[in-house]
Amino acid sequence: MWLLFAILSSIFAALTSILAKIGIDGVNSNLATAIRTAVVLVMSWGMVFLTNAQKGIGQISQRSWIFLILSGLATGASWLCYYKALQMGQASKVVPIDKLSVVITLLLAFIFLHEQFTLKSIIGCILIGAGSLLMVL
């Protein structure tokens, strides 16, 4: 089931890039990011209440709160930079560079989460990195 959600995520991420590039025309990138964030906020809380997940708020540990807040700050910084890059550059050039996050994530997962690095994942990182860079040259 995780694979289905991962595929849907990639489809929606692709749509995000195209829709954002069209929508950001003539709009300050920070304002555009704020509008996008407000929509995501409403949608996320809607899902929380729709699935009755709000009951779990009190059970979140302090450690989880800290890391969720840090993750939110990283997401915000990523979106602000992404929208500025989309506003300034072509989507076909910005998106491959943005997808280098896959390589960086694998490296950080190895360093901080002690996830296994296999020959397959090393080759995948090299191919993703090379492909991303090749697309922008």
- pLDDT, tens digit, for every residue of 11-37? 999 999 999 999 999 999 999 999 999
Task: Give the pLDDT of residue 137.
Answer: 86
Q: Is the per-residue pLDDT at 57 higher than 90?
A: yes
DSSP conformation letters of the chain:
-HHHHHHHHHHHHHHHHHHHHHHTTTS-HHHHHHHHHHHHHHHHHHHHHHTTGGGGGGG--HHHHHHHHHHHHHHHHHHHHHHHHHHHS-HHHHHHHHTTHHHHHHHHHHHHS-----HHHHHHHHHHHHHHHHHH-
Average pLDDT over residues 49-53: 96
- pTM equals 0.85
Task: Give the pLDDT of residue 88.
Answer: 95
Count CB atoms within 10 A of the CB of residue 97: 15
Q: Write phi, then psi, for 117 (nearest 5 degrees).
A: -105, 115
Count CB atoms within 10 A of the CB of residue 135: 13
Task: Give the pLDDT of residue 64.
Answer: 97
Task: Give the pLDDT of residue 25.
Answer: 93
Comparing C-alpha atoms, which of 93, 94, 126 is closest to residue 107? 126
Task: Give the pLDDT of residue 108.
Answer: 95
- pLDDT tens track for 64-123: 999 999 999 999 999 999 999 999 999 999 999 999 999 999 999 999 999 998 999 999
Count CB atoms within 10 A of the CB of residue 82: 21
Q: Cα–Cα distance between 81 and 69 in angstroms, integer?
A: 18
